[in-house]
Structure formats: structure tokens, C-alpha cells
């Protein structure tokens, strides 16, 4: 059994390469894990609607009927399938979407689709909130 040489006071105070590497690894692990939390969901769409809102669900229409919901300067644009929707689908969706902004429905306009063959039977409407 060989005895280790005694440490000088200078070498005892100086950290070794292993100690520096383990400290750096620990710091990297802490920083990596702290960035894994939930993302900021405080973002809002125009009109004060939280960005995390499920807009197709918010329309009140059957999920299979809703193709697209988007926020526009004037209100909302909705593309849906009338065949899979209740009779009062446009009014119901308009009321629900404008209510997200705490506003009433101004008017509903049917917009001709640019390429109706892309989604046969779909209807596009613009919803203007008051």
C-alpha cells in the first residue's frame, strides 16, 4: 500500500479539473430543467381572447363541422360544413365568438369561397362583432 503524498496548502485550495467539470455539469442540468416548465400562455388575440382558447370548440358547433376559425380585424372568419351543423349554426357561432370579446353580433356575411372544389359543401362566413 502506497501512501499518498501530503497536499500542500496551495493545491488543497485550488479546485481540480473533476470538481470544475462536475460543477459545470450541475449548472447545465439545473438550467436545462428550469426551462422545461409550461410556456407563457398569457398571450392574447385581438379583442382580448386568450391565445390558448380552443376556437373550434368555442363556436358551439359540432367538432366535425368546423374547418377553420380565425380572428380578423373586423371580427371572425368561420369555415364550416352546414350539412353537419344545426340549423341555427351561423347565429350560434357568431354569438359565441363575439361573446369571447364581450361584444354583440353586428352582422354575418356569407363569403364566396375562392376554391369551393377544395372542400365541397363548406361555407365561409365573416362575423362582424358590434
The predicted-structure confidence for 96-125, as pLDDT tens digits, reads as follows: 999 888 889 999 999 998 887 888 899 999
The C-alpha cell 473533476 sits at 18
Q: pLDDT band at 126, cuts 50/70/90?
A: very high
User: In which element (H, E) is residue 124 found?
Assistant: strand 123-129
Whole-number percent of the chain with pLDDT over 70: 66
CA distance 110 to 55: 19
Q: What is the pTM of this model?
A: 0.62
Q: Which of 36-50, 78-92, 97-111 shows the lowest mean pLDDT across its residues?
A: 36-50
Q: Are the C-beta atoms of 124 and 77 separated by less than 8 Å?
A: yes
Q: Are the C-beta atoms of 11 and 93 separated by less than 8 Å?
A: no
CA distance 89 to 95: 10
Q: Are the C-beta atoms of 75 and 129 separated by less than 8 Å?
A: yes
Q: Is the pLDDT of residue 47 over 70?
A: no
Amino acid at each position: 500500500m502506497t501512501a499518498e503524498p501530503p497536499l500542500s496548502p496551495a493545491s488543497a485550495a485550488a479546485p481540480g479539473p473533476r470538481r470544475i467539470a462536475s460543477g459545470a455539469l450541475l449548472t447545465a442540468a439545473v438550467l436545462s430543467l428550469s426551462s422545461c416548465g409550461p410556456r407563457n400562455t398569457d398571450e392574447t388575440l385581438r379583442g382580448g381572447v386568450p391565445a390558448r382558447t380552443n376556437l373550434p370548440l368555442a363556436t358551439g358547433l359540432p367538432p366535425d363541422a368546423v374547418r377553420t376559425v380565425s380572428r380578423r380585424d373586423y371580427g371572425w372568419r368561420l369555415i364550416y360544413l352546414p350539412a353537419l351543423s344545426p340549423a341555427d349554426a351561423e347565429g350560434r357561432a357568431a354569438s359565441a365568438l363575439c361573446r369571447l370579446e364581450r361584444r354583440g353580433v353586428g352582422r354575418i356575411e356569407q363569403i364566396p369561397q375562392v376554391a369551393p372544389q377544395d372542400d365541397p359543401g363548406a361555407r365561409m362566413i365573416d362575423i362582424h362583432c358590434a
